[in-house]
Amino acid sequence: MTYTIKTEKNEWEIVCGLEIHCQIISKSKIFSGASTEFGDDANENVSFIDAGMPGMLPVLNKECVRQAVKTGLGLNAQINKHSVFSRKNYFYADQPNGYQITQYEYPIVGKGNVKIDLSDGTSKNIGITRIHIEQDAAKSIHDLNPKKTYVDFNRAGVGLMEIVTEPDFRSPEEAGAFLKKLRSIVRYLGTCDGNMDEGSMRCDASISVRLKGEQGLRERAEVKNVNSVKFAMQAIESEAKRQVEVYEQGGTIEQQTCRFDQATGQTKFMRKKEYADDYRYFPEPDLPPLDLTDEYIENIRAQMVELPDAKKERFMRDFNLTAYDADLLTESRETADFFEKAAKGHDGKKVANWILGDFFARLNADKLTLEQSPIKPEMIGQLVDLITNNTISGKIAKDVFALMFETGQSPIKIVEEKGLKQVTDSSQIEKIVDEVIASNADNLAAYKSGKTNLFGWFVGQVMKASKGSANPQMVNQLLKDKLDK
């Protein structure tokens, strides 16, 4: 789908790349033994290393390395066996060392790619440039005091993966689809919790525009720290439109840093890039290079979980699901696991319909997460079987489902205890049909004289008389035989 910004004079296209900071899931920080726990009291989880005390030396956490390699493999990327830590020098209150330990020329992960699916049914590959690992900065709180900024170092030194993409995005939708895909992948892998609103996944977008068909790139603006998929899409759209306006009025764009204002949906100028990015990188003297072996990497590869793309394809193949349903079911690993348990040995397509329909609707209505569901996945499979083998009708199934949700009991037990088992014995149904016809002579006469739409009324009476337990197809057939005789 081609996305352009059309004006009276021209047609413009967006060129956008993303940098995503993902907090690595690990118990302790990347260079110290302090806890990474989120939400503890200020400055509780801080070691002398994180506080930048003189003479303290960083020691690399092996779990952070493993998580970065895992993420690299999940993004189909080259793992660099040799990588080097560097110092990125800048002065700011959130970084007491005066530098951040990061990776520069030799990152741990190189080129990769991620497939995104778009709403028009097409797919696109987004290039990954690199992933490097580094330490997070402290958290600054600006709104507690009008004259001061408060700094909490609990976040300082938490491991980060910075994932950099190629400038492959041509529309806000593509960037949004990528962020969702990336979030889904890191959650599957268990390498980052992906919670953008808590700041454990943060996105910077580099945006420029050019005339459709134009070669080369124009100056770009970088929008910093956008904290939701929706805001990222809005920021890209509004920044691109702003640049188009500037160009069309004869102006030029200078390389600059902006922030996204959530209240107005607009980007706001922060600073020019001239001096700001003179970080004077040099190799970190406190850490020798990181060297990994093939065996180490292959070991991690062997333990990789099935990722959303592969799972989606398998669900479509094995359970005959549509791409849309398979997408919804594989977005999170928990949902996919739930579906798979429910579908095992049952009609997968029908199980998917129940999960994506009534089940999710009820979870949402009751504001429950999947883990809090009173219904076990196996019970949905059982319910589908009860319908498929004609033990209950689809209509009764809805009632059984409601009872399952309220009591947490299996549908088999509910159907037995409440006597909801469908009557498929034709002599029994016939008896009810005869009674209904006999006691409604006037309607029978009306039907015979041509008011055939009374048929539905007869069906209703029979179902009511059987307390909903009669097999609807059999009721239809028997009534038809008797009324049209």
Partner 1 sequence: MAVDNNTVKQVAFLARLKVEDSKVEQTKDEFNKILNWVEQLNEVNTENVEPLVSVNDTTLPLREDDVTDGNLKTEILKNAPMQEFGYFAVPKVVE
| Spatial CA neighbour of 95 closest among 34, 41, 156 | 156
List, in order, residues 6 or more apart from 7 with CB less than 8 Å away.
244, 248
List, in order, residues 6 or more apart from 28 with CB less than 8 Å away.
34, 35, 36, 61
Looking at the DSSP assignment, which residues form a beta bridge with residue 130? Answer: 164
Instruction: State in angstroms the smallest separation of the CB of 35 from partner 1.
Output: 5
Instruction: State in angstroms the smallest separation of the CB of 108 from partner 1.
Output: 12
CA distance 278 to 271: 14
Nearer to partner 1, 44 or 214 (CB): 44
Residues constituting the chain? 485
Is 26 a residue that touches partner 1 (CB under 8 A)?
Answer: yes
Which of 28, 102, 256, 373 lies at the binding interface for partner 1 (CB under 8 A)? 28
* 312 touches 326 (CB < 8 A): yes
Instruction: State in angstroms the smallest separation of the CB of 284 from partner 1.
Output: 9
Radius of gyration of the chain (CA): 31
Instruction: State in angstroms the smallest separation of the CB of 303 from partner 1.
Output: 16
Interactions with partner 1, residue window 137-166 (CB under 8 A)? 140-142, 144-153
Is 423 a residue that touches partner 1 (CB under 8 A)?
Answer: no
Interactions with partner 1, residue window 159-198 (CB under 8 A)? none
Phi and psi, residue 73, nearest 5°: -65, -35
Counting other chains too, the contacts that 137-142 makes at CB distance below 8 Å and 24 or more residues apart are: 137/92, 137/94, 137/95, 137/100, 138/93, 138/94, 138/95, 138/96, 139/94, 139/199, 140/93, 140/94
Interactions with partner 1, residue window 328-367 (CB under 8 A)? none
Interactions with partner 1, residue window 278-297 (CB under 8 A)? 278, 280, 283, 285, 287-291
CA angle 104–110–111, rounded 5-degree value: 130
Instruction: State in angstroms the smallest separation of the CB of 227 from partner 1.
Output: 16
Instruction: State in angstroms the smallest separation of the CB of 275 from partner 1.
Output: 7
User: How many residues touch partner 1 (CB under 8 A)?
Assistant: 54
List, in order, residues 6 or more apart from 110 with CB less than 8 Å away.
77, 78, 79, 80, 130
Nearer to partner 1, 60 or 483 (CB): 60
Which of 19, 63, 193, 358 lies at the binding interface for partner 1 (CB under 8 A)? 63
The H or E element that residue 209 is part of is strand 201-211
Nearer to partner 1, 275 or 419 (CB): 275
Nearer to partner 1, 64 or 384 (CB): 64
Is 34 a residue that touches partner 1 (CB under 8 A)?
Answer: yes
Which of 93, 304, 323, 361 lies at the binding interface for partner 1 (CB under 8 A)? 93
* 186 touches 44 (CB < 8 A): no
Instruction: State in angstroms the smallest separation of the CB of 107 from partner 1.
Output: 14
Instruction: State in angstroms the smallest separation of the CB of 27 from partner 1.
Output: 5
The token pair that represents 344 in the structure block:
């095992």
Nearer to partner 1, 3 or 106 (CB): 106
CA distance 432 to 438: 10
Nearer to partner 1, 274 or 416 (CB): 274
270-294 burial, b for 16+ CB within 10 Å, e for fewer? Answer: eeeeeeeeeeeeeebeebeebebee
Instruction: State in angstroms the smallest separation of the CB of 133 from partner 1.
Output: 12
Nearer to partner 1, 84 or 462 (CB): 84
Is 44 a residue that touches partner 1 (CB under 8 A)?
Answer: yes
- Region from 56-64, 227-235, 318-326, 403-411 binding partner 1, contact rule CB under 8 A: 56-64
Give the SS3 label for residue 267. strand
- Region from 134-142, 208-216, 370-378, 411-419 binding partner 1, contact rule CB under 8 A: 134-142
Site map 69..88 versus partner 1, x via CB under 8 A: ---------------x----
Q: What is the DSSP string of 450-484?
A: T-GGGHHHHHHHHHHHTTT-B-HHHHHHHHHHHHT
Instruction: State in angstroms the smallest separation of the CB of 147 from partner 1.
Output: 6
Which of 9, 91, 367, 438 lies at the binding interface for partner 1 (CB under 8 A)? 91
Q: Which residues of the shown chain bind partner 1 in the complex (CB under 8 A)? A: 26-28, 32-35, 41-49, 51, 59-65, 84, 89, 91-93, 140-142, 144-153, 270-271, 275, 278, 280, 283, 285, 287-291
